């Protein structure tokens, strides 16, 4: 490969790095994304003009097909569907790397030369990681888009089946890596088994644990690209693949920490399948409140915090929530939106929805920033969130979610919980917050309830 | 030796990735995911080399499919990230 092409790859890597660096602030993030895209364009153009490319017709075909699908999907997808969109796209990255690995294997075979170990091993890894990423992502997409049930699927001996598949993959992988030329059969079985493994490792994971899975699959898609880079000895693939891999790993660990669970626990336990535990102390009467009475409390409040959860996305309530927020602000109150790291179905899900509804990003605050000052908050309004504000996680050692960091809304002067019923959250754990003295339940659909409040203010 | 240099690059890039990403605020985690998703479409470079070859039809078929999938990732990823980031506005009403 010529020096000019190599230099372009270095420049592309630098642009990716700058692009990611500019994501450190919402003010520069959009330009950062543009710079990253320019890096990608540079890498593609440099490859296209390199002497290794002989025919262009199939390239054009592939780009036309992929480009139109990608563009249409990106323009049409509603913000509430972002988790399943990103999940599916992780999968496309994975399968692309799988196919690149396979194509290089094919190249080695048709050249009739010996395929060295240093090429065979990354081919194996690209195919394995790419395959797991692809089917795992498609399944995660199906769960998030509710094409299939989002409930964890657990069956007897699941771990054993997974174990057997992993051992099989390793054995076949060893055979393939040692003699790639004569092991086409093993290679095809590895491809198939990688796909099966992707499915089996995603089905036991339930809806609210999806942020972890998407982050992990994000990381895999990067690592698959990285492995493909080792196959074709290309630095830009290795650098950008590692950046993505690291990004996914960081997000995964943030999500796990925010649930106080280990990665292994998220991946294998299938939380939410057990029956609801009845823990002592969760008794008393929930005190309902009408929109009319809630209005008087809010009217007098000078510090209001909204705590959104997945329920806000389901009810599509973000726009009317912002409207209420603005009204309160014009009424003289300070308004903030406190967002738990695992609220929603993917990292940052709530932030994007609120940004879509025109909430300025200064008003979006993190859990660690709101908790120290929560006691001075007059009203905390919980919208469609449950486990992330459950005081049992803090106080009740017997609770299934004990130890998970929460937003301490129960320490606010008054808490409004907007909820359809008293049903427990995803984790199947009762929420003592509903029975606290300073809690008032505003029953009903989140959107309708907030609309009613907005209506009260307008009267 | 070549392989060792690539490994060296890999290790350094992982560390760089950790440094860069840990500075991204939680509020931008969704665009970070879709944006890094687009970056993982860099595998398109390998796909182009396969699809543009003339040695064996199967390699070209695999390469073309890889180009299509990687392009979905690149185009879709960058566009949707841009769409999202355009929505993040400051109090002053300035676009980000």
Report whether A243 contacts B36 (CB < 8 A): yes
Q: Identify the pLDDT of residue A278.
A: 43
Residue A279, min C-alpha distance to chain B (Å):
33
Considering only CA atoms, give the Rg of chain B.
18
Percentage of chain A exceeding pLDDT 90: 64
Across A194-217, average pLDDT = 89
Q: Identify the pLDDT of residue A19.
A: 96
Q: Identify the pLDDT of residue A154.
A: 79
Across A13-24, average pLDDT = 96
Closest of A66, A94, A89, A40 to residue A222, by C-alpha: A94
DSSP strand pairing (A379-383 vs A414-419): parallel
Distance CA A183, CA A190 (A): 11
Cβ neighbors of B34 (< 8 A, separation 6 or more) are A82, A85, A86, A89, B77, B80, B81, B84
> Which pTM value belongs to this model?
0.90
By annotation, the residues of A acting in catalysis are: 387
Identify all chain B residues contacting A349, using CB atoms and an 8 Å cutoff: 30
Residue A210, min C-alpha distance to chain B (Å):
13
Q: What is the mean pLDDT of chain B?
A: 91
ipTM: 0.94
Locate A266 and state its tokens: 């998220």
Report whether A197 contacts A133 (CB < 8 A): no
Which among A241, A250, A361 has the least Cβ separation from residue B27?
A: A361
CA distances from B27 to A27, A183, A337, A354, A362 (A): 12, 48, 11, 10, 10
Number of residues assigned to chain A: 459
Identify all chain B residues contacting A243, using CB atoms and an 8 Å cutoff: 13, 16-17, 20-21, 36, 39
Report whether A409 contacts A307 (CB < 8 A): yes
Number of residues assigned to chain B: 96
Question: In a 10 Å sphere around its CB, with 0-12 CB exposed, 13-18 middle and 19+ buried, how is residue A28 labelled?
Answer: middle
Selected residue with higher pLDDT from A323 and A211: A323
Which of A268-282, A337-351, A392-406, B36-50 has maximum average pLDDT? B36-50
- Taking an 8 Å cut-off on Cβ atoms, the answer to whether A74 and B63 are in contact is no
Q: Identify the pLDDT of residue A458.
A: 84
Closest of A134, A91, A20 to residue B73, by C-alpha: A91
- Going through A119-204 in order, the beta strands assigned E by DSSP cover none
- Taking an 8 Å cut-off on Cβ atoms, the answer to whether B71 and A67 are in contact is yes
Across A230-239, average pLDDT = 94
**Buried b or exposed e, range A422-432, using 16+ CB within 10 angstroms:** eebbbbbbbbb
Q: Identify the pLDDT of residue B38.
A: 96
To which H or E segment does residue A229 belong?
A: helix A210-231
State CA A361 to chain mean position distance. 20
Count of CB atoms situated within 10 Å of the CB of A102: 25
pLDDT in tens, A254-311: 988 888 888 887 777 655 444 344 444 455 678 888 888 889 999 999 999 999 998 8
Q: What is the mean pLDDT of chain A?
A: 89
Q: Identify the pLDDT of residue A279.
A: 45
Distance CA B7, CA B22 (A): 23
pLDDT in tens, A362-390: 999 999 999 999 999 999 999 988 888 99
Residue A414, classed as helix, strand or coil, is: strand
Which among A43, A73, A92 has the least Cβ separation from residue B42?
A: A43
pLDDT in tens, A143-157: 988 888 878 887 888
Query: Which of A37-41, A181-185, A280-284, A316-320 is predicted with the least confidence, judged by mean pLDDT?
Result: A280-284
pLDDT in tens, A423-440: 666 666 778 888 888 999
Q: Identify the pLDDT of residue A270.
A: 59
Name the pLDDT band for A129 (thresholds 50, 70, 90).
very high
Q: Identify the pLDDT of residue B1.
A: 53
How crowded is the C-beta side of A243, counted as CA atoms within 13 Å?
Answer: 29
**Inter-helix orientation angle B77-87/A82-111, to 10°:** 160
Residue A141, min C-alpha distance to chain B (Å):
14
A–B CB contacts, 8 A cutoff, strictly below: 391
Report whether A362 contacts B91 (CB < 8 A): yes
Which among A23, A66, A230 has the least Cβ separation from residue B67?
A: A66
Locate A26 and state its tokens: 């919402």
- Taking an 8 Å cut-off on Cβ atoms, the answer to whether A240 and B40 are in contact is yes
> Does the structure show a pLDDT above 80 at B93?
no
Residue B8, min C-alpha distance to chain A (Å):
10
Query: Which of A83-87, A190-194, A204-208 is predicted with the least confidence, judged by mean pLDDT?
Result: A204-208
Question: In a 10 Å sphere around its CB, with 0-12 CB exposed, 13-18 middle and 19+ buried, how is residue A385 labelled?
Answer: buried
Across A105-120, average pLDDT = 90
pLDDT in tens, B47-62: 999 999 888 889 999 9
- Taking an 8 Å cut-off on Cβ atoms, the answer to whether B52 and A229 are in contact is no
Across B39-45, average pLDDT = 96
DSSP strand pairing (A334-339 vs A439-443): unpaired
> Does the structure show a pLDDT above 70 at A42?
yes
Distance CA B28, CA B25 (A): 6
Report whether A246 contacts B14 (CB < 8 A): yes
């Amino acid at each position: 490969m010529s020096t000019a092409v190599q230099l372009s790859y270095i420049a592309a890597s630098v642009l990716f790095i700058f692009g990611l660096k500019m994501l450190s602030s919402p003010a520069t993030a959009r330009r950062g994304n543009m710079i990253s895209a320019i890096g990608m364009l540079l890498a593609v153009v440099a490859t296209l003009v390199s002497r290794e490319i002989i025919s262009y017709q199939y390239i054009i075909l592939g780009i036309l097909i992929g480009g139109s699908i990608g563009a249409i999907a990106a323009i049409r997808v509603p913000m509430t569907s972002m988790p399943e969109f990103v999940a599916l796209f992780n999968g496309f990255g994975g399968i692309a790397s799988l196919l690149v690995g396979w194509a290089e294997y094919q190249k080695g075979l048709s050249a009739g030369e010996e395929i060295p170990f240093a090429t065979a091993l990354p081919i194996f890894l690209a195919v394995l990681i790419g395959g797991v990423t692809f089917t795992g992502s498609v399944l995660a997409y199906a769960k998030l888009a509710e094409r299939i049930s989002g409930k964890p699927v657990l069956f007897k001996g699941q771990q054993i089946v997974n174990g057997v598949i992993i051992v099989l993959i390793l054995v076949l992988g060893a055979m393939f890596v040692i003699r790639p030329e004569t092991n086409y059969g093993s290679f095809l079985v590895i491809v198939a088994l990688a796909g099966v493994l992707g499915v089996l490792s995603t089905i036991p994971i339930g809806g609210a644990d999806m942020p972890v899975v998407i982050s992990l699959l994000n990381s895999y898609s990067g690592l698959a690209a990285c492995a493909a880079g080792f196959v074709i000895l290309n630095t830009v693939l290795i650098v950008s693949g590692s950046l993505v891999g690291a990004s996914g790993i960081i997000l995964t660990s943030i999500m796990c920490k925010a649930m106080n669970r280990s990665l292994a626990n998220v991946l294998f336990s299938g939380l939410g399948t057990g029956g609801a535990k009845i823990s002592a102390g969760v008794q008393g009467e929930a005190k309902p409140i009408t929109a009319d009475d809630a209005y008087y409390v809010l009217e007098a409040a000078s510090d209001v915090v909204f705590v959104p959860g997945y329920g806000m996305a389901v009810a599509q309530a973000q726009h009317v929530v912002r409207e209420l927020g603005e009204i309160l602000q014009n009424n003289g109150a300070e308004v903030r939106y406190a967002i738990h790291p695992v609220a929603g179905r993917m990292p940052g899900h709530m932030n994007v929805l609120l940004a879509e509804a025109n909430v300025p990003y200064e008003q979006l605050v993190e859990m660690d920033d709101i908790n120290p000052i929560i006691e001075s908050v007059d009203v905390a309004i919980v919208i469609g969130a449950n486990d992330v504000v459950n005081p049992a996680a803090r106080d009740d050692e017997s609770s299934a979610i004990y130890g998970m960091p929460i937003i301490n809304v129960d320490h606010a002067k008054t808490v409004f919980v907007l909820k359809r019923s008293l049903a427990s959250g995803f984790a199947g754990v009762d929420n003592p917050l509903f029975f606290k003295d300073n809690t008032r339940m505003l029953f009903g659909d989140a959107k309708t309830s907030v609309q009613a409040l907005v209506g009260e203010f307008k009267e | 030796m070549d392989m060792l240099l690539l490994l060296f690059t890999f290790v350094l890039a992982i560390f760089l990735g950790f440094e860069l990403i840990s500075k991204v605020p939680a509020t931008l985690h969704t665009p970070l995911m879709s944006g890094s998703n687009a970056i993982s479409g860099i595998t398109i470079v390998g796909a182009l080399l396969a699809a543009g070859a003339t040695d064996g039809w199967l390699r070209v078929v695999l390469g073309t499919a890889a180009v299509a999938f990687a392009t979905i990732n690149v185009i879709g990823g960058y566009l949707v990230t841009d769409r999202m980031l355009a929505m993040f506005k400051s109090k002053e009403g300035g676009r980000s």
